[in-house]
Amino acid sequence: MIARNPRARHDYHILETWEAGLVLTGPEVKSLRARQASLGEAYAHVRGGEAWIEGLTISPYEHGSFNNPPPARSRKLLLRRRQLQQLFGATTQKGLTIVPLELYFNARGLAKLSIALVRPKKRHDKREDLRRRDAEREMARVVRGRRR
């Protein structure tokens, strides 16, 4: 795992997820192998029949030369045509957006981005999730105490 978007699961209801490839340059891949990436403010959108990710910050490779691209440039996502059509159709609905969840290398060594179709949570939904997590943590603590 290279980078994870911790706010995504807190701020959004995840409806569907996909795995997408990224169009990267050589120094960007080397920087990713050094875990120099941030998904904090990243989002994706469909434009001109292609999916793009904005706000994904990949730090410049320190041993790179003048070939280092800008850290926060737009990057193309590689998806199948059917997946692109699903994303385009879903994002035209009111309130749905595409958010990256995590960036990682798969078993073959290719950089992949897990993206999700999401709907924003309301404030009361976030509070309910926090209460539920606290209750689960407390129950696990009690069960652990009984085993000893």
Per-domain residue ranges of the chain: 3-121
Exposed, middle or buried, 4 (CB in 10 Å: 0-12/13-18/19+)? Answer: middle
**Can you give the pLDDT at residue 116?**
93
Give the chain's residues under pLDDT 70.
64, 148
**Can you give the pLDDT at residue 148?**
63
Residues sharing a CB contact under 8 Å with residue 132, sequence separation 6 or more, in sequence order: none
Both tokens assigned to 4: 């994870």
Q: Identify each DSSP E strand in the chain by its residue range.
A: 3-4, 12-22, 37-38, 43-47, 50-54, 57-58, 75-78, 97-105, 111-120
Are 120 and 95 in contact by the 8 Å Cβ rule? The answer is yes
**Can you give the pLDDT at residue 104?**
93
CATH superfamily of 3-121: Small protein B (2.40.280.10)
Both tokens assigned to 92: 């035209």
Both tokens assigned to 84: 């692109």
Its pTM stands at: 0.78
Smallest Cα–Cα separation from 105: which of 39, 43, 41, 33?
33
**Can you give the pLDDT at residue 63?**
79
**Which residue type does 142 have?**
V
**Can you give the pLDDT at residue 26?**
83
pLDDT in tens, 68-77: 777 778 899 9
> ∠ CA 22-26-32 to the nearest 5 degrees?
65
